[in-house]
Amino acid sequence: MKRKIAVISAFVLASCALLTGCGSGNTDSRTDTASQSAAQTDGTKKTVKLNVGYLPSPGHLLYFVAKEEGLFEEEGLDVNLVLFNENNSELASLESGKIDVGAFGSSELVTYLADGHELTVFGGAMIAGHGLIVKPELVEGIPEEEWTLDLLKGKNVGVEGVDSGHIVYRAAVKKLGLEDEVNFQIFSDGADAYNSLKNDDIDAAILYAPYRILAEDEGYVIFSNSGTVEGYEDHVCCRQAALSSTLANEPDTYTAFLRALIRAYHFYQENPDKTIADSQIYVDVDEESLRKDTYDYDSQIANPDPDITGMTNFYEALVYTDFVEEFDISQGLSSELYDKALQEVAAENPDDAIYQYLLDYHNERD
């Protein structure tokens, strides 16, 4: 069942001042890979060590909940969360063996796969999560129901590289025939784009959670959230990925990893207060703002499903916007382990409405 969803790469707008104290670990804290780790024994139960890369965003909350609520531990995993501030260094750490798995921006994953890297997308993380932030004068005196992307004509819009929000809005602008009338100004990272907006060098910026709410708090206007853009509703963003060889060699480990994330999704749906508390350990944003970004701006900001249909449609958006040439992306996408993990968790909870929703969601998007 094919939807017109463009899967977008998650771009992180991290500034050092904002990210001080956000979570545990760094890129030098690597110990062993899963296949190399020494098994710890607790009776007859084997514990496997995993180093997991994350970005300081509410979109990665499945990691935070699974870690803080002991769900990884219950699945026999000793997880070390390793902080990154952008996708490319995180992908490089995956390929060099410094981390075993992580949630990576979909755009970066598609471009890596296009270049022949041996990665496999096998699960989901963030959904949507970007906002088009504009100066208040751009919409001054215009009723919100009349706000359209035509208002961006002649404007400079800051983006981070081939970011997911960038691709959604660029594709939407192109569909409207405005590609030559909107200037997407590319920055090395989201912090630079945000600072450029604050310095009045650009008129708008596409910002990633939690920075869209921080921008709104500073007087800028959320023109729209990326998950509401026509044709790209609830688009996928960050995806779980690992080396293809690692997944093939350690299927039980990564099935257990996905079970923990599925259970974390259930917790996130039922326990907003504790989910926000868990997330605040890793995302240095005040409680009220983090709650808005996590629960108010998107229909759901996180989902563990790999969403093969959404990834395929996002690949098509990258081709449409001329960021990649056509290739067979299906070789880098797999729902096999997720399907197994979800069936196992759902079988243990046959009457649970949240797990039934995930089953229905998966059947629609596989």
Distance of CA 117 to the CA centre of its chain: 20
Question: CB neighbours (10 Å) of residue 348?
Answer: 11
| Domain identity same for 246 and 343 | yes
Tell me whether residue 2 is in a domain. Answer: no
138 and 122 in one domain?
no
Q: Where are the alpha helices (DSSP H) in the chain?
A: 16-19, 61-68, 71-74, 87-96, 106-114, 164-175, 190-198, 211-217, 244-249, 251-270, 272-280, 287-291, 308-320, 336-348, 353-365
Residue 109 and residue 137 in one domain: no
Give residue 30's pLDDT. 34
Please name every residue paired with 15 in a beta bridge, in sequence order, or none if there are none. Answer: none
Distance (Å, rounded) from C-alpha 265 to C-alpha 268?
5
Pair (213, 254) in one structural domain: no
Residue 95 shares a structural domain with residue 145: no
CATH number at residue 304: 3.40.190.10
pLDDT (tens digit per residue) in 282-298: 999 889 989 988 998 88
First to last CA, the chain: 8
Q: How far apart are CA 211 and CA 274, in angstroms?
A: 21
Question: Are residues 194 and 287 both part of a single domain?
Answer: no
- Token pair recorded at residue 316: 């098509």
Q: Which domain holds residue 321?
A: 16-127+235-365
Residue 234 and residue 194 in contact, taking contact as beta carbons nearer than 8 Å: no
Of the residues 194, 228, 262, which one is the last residue of a structural domain? 228
pLDDT value at position 342?
98
Q: Show Cβ contacts of residue 351 under 8 Å, excluding neighbours closer than 6 positions.
A: none
Alpha-carbon distance of 47 to 38, in angstroms, equals 9
Strands 130-134 and 204-208, sheet pairing: antiparallel
Q: Look at residues 211, 228, 245 and tell me which one is the last residue of a structural domain.
A: 228
Do 239 and 217 share a domain, yes or no?
A: no
Q: What angle (nearest 5°) sits at the alpha carbon of residue 238, between those of residues 3 and 36? A: 130
Whether 113 is covered by a domain: the verdict is: yes
**Nearest to 105, CA basis, from 116, 97, 96, 94:** 94
Q: Identify whether residues 121 and 202 lie together within a single domain.
A: no
Bridge partner residues of 160 (DSSP): 187
Which tokens is 78 given?
A: 């000793």
Torsion over CA of 289, 24, 125 and 94, rounded to 10 degrees? 140
Contacts of 48 (CB under 8 A, 6+ apart): 34, 37, 39, 76, 77, 78, 250, 253, 256
Residue 11 domain-assigned (yes or no): no
Predicted pLDDT of residue 9: 34
User: Which pTM value belongs to this model?
Assistant: 0.83
Domain's final residue, options 228, 245, 266: 228
Is 76 within the bounds of a domain?
Answer: yes
Residue 189's pLDDT is what? 76
Distance (Å, rounded) from C-alpha 348 to C-alpha 346?
5
- Residue 116 shares a structural domain with residue 224: no
Q: Is residue 92 part of a domain?
A: yes
Q: Give the number of domains in the chain.
A: 2
Judge whether 1 lies within some domain: no
Residues 200 and 258 in one domain: no
Residue 197 lies in a domain: yes
pLDDT of residue 45: 62
Residues in the chain, pLDDT under 50 = 1-43
For the stretch 181-196, what's the b/e string if a residue is b when 16 or more beta carbons lie within 10 angstroms of its beta carbon? Answer: ebebbebebbbbbbbb
Q: Based on the fold, state whether residues 152 and 301 are members of the same structural domain.
A: no
CA nearest neighbour of 306 among 109, 152, 158, 156? 109
Assess if residue 5 is contained within a domain: no
Same domain, 253 and 357: yes
